[in-house]
């Protein structure tokens, strides 16, 4: 209790991880089903490097997206540790529309600028899921975790945009600020979560987008969405 007789907020730690590298297009440039793609050999190496960093970190609750690339990443992080795992569809990546329905002349601006337009009324991700609906499902899952008193250290392994929703909430910037939170493959974010009487009080960002395989981000200059555009149009204008 503090001087006013109020209960001191309880502080707990949450680790947010994005999955390792995958290939979203085949050798002929055709898009693969994002629901079933698996880690590439590079992604396995990235997740394994993060697993070494977290090998002595205990987890009371572990949540993971039910997409294969997230579960593979989690398995590499746990390194054989036996802990209960909750696989949740609510932590799936935001759903894109059909790229072929985006006019060619608008492709670059639509893809590269997808995150910067998220706060616009009725904005969707590349013609698919509405950002506000996605934000609601991610934060509803996160706040449900926060209201559970039975953990001190939690791990969430999911996706780029999922992490951005939580980080933007923690920073108090909402959808308008998600473009600032780059999430490289197999990156680690650490935040401390304060709750009082089951209500979320706020969060403290400790670590954002840490990649042990490349801590100084050497050679990484493009954003996630710029890299996606380059994959779609490798001979297109530079991002």
pLDDT of residue 239: 42
Please give the chain's pLDDT, 239 residues, in tens. Answer: 455 556 788 999 999 999 999 988 777 667 778 888 999 999 999 999 999 999 999 999 999 999 999 999 999 999 999 999 999 999 999 999 988 899 989 999 999 999 999 999 999 999 999 999 999 999 999 999 999 999 999 999 999 999 999 999 999 999 999 999 999 999 999 999 999 887 889 999 999 999 999 999 999 999 999 998 888 776 555 44
pLDDT of residue 30: 75
Buried b (16+ CB within 10 A) or exposed e, 63-82: bbbebebbbbbbbbbbeeee
pLDDT of residue 125: 97
pLDDT of residue 163: 98
pLDDT of residue 3: 53
pLDDT of residue 22: 94
pLDDT of residue 35: 86
- What CATH number matches the domain at 11-232, 3.90.1720.10, 3.40.50.1240, 3.40.50.11890, 3.30.360.10? 3.40.50.1240
Report how far residue 130's alpha carbon sits from residue 96's, in angstroms, rounded to the nearest whole number: 9
**Domain range annotation of the chain:** 11-232
Phi then psi dihedrals of residue 15, to 5 deg: -110, 125
pLDDT of residue 238: 46
pTM (2 d.p.): 0.92
28 DSSP assignment: T
Cα-based angle 99, 158, 167 (whole degrees, multiple of 5): 95
């Amino acid at each position: 209790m503090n001087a006013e007789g109020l209960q001191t907020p309880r502080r707990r730690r949450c680790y947010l991880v994005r999955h390792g590298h995958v290939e979203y297009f085949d050798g002929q440039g055709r898009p693969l089903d994002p629901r079933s793609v698996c880690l590439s050999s590079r992604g396995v190496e990235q997740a394994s490097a993060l697993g070494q960093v977290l090998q002595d970190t205990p987890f009371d609750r572990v949540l993971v997206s039910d997409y294969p690339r997230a579960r593979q990443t989690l398995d590499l992080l746990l390194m054989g540790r036996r802990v209960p795992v909750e696989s949740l569809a609510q932590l799936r990546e935001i759903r894109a529309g059909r790229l072929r329905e985006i006019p060619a002349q608008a492709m670059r601006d639509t893809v590269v600028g997808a995150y910067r337009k998220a706060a616009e009324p009725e904005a969707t991700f590349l013609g698919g899921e509405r950002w506000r609906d996605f934000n609601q499902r991610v934060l509803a899952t996160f706040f449900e975790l926060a209201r559970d008193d039975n953990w001190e250290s939690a791990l969430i392994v999911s996706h780029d945009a999922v992490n951005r929703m939580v980080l933007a909430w923690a920073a108090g910037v909402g959808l308008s600020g998600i473009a600032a939170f780059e999430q490289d493959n197999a990156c680690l974010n650490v935040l401390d979560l304060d709750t009082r009487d089951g209500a979320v009080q706020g969060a403290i960002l400790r670590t954002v987008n840490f990649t042990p395989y490349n801590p100084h981000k050497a050679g990484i200059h493009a954003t996630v969405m710029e890299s996606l555009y380059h994959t779609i149009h490798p001979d297109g204008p530079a991002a």
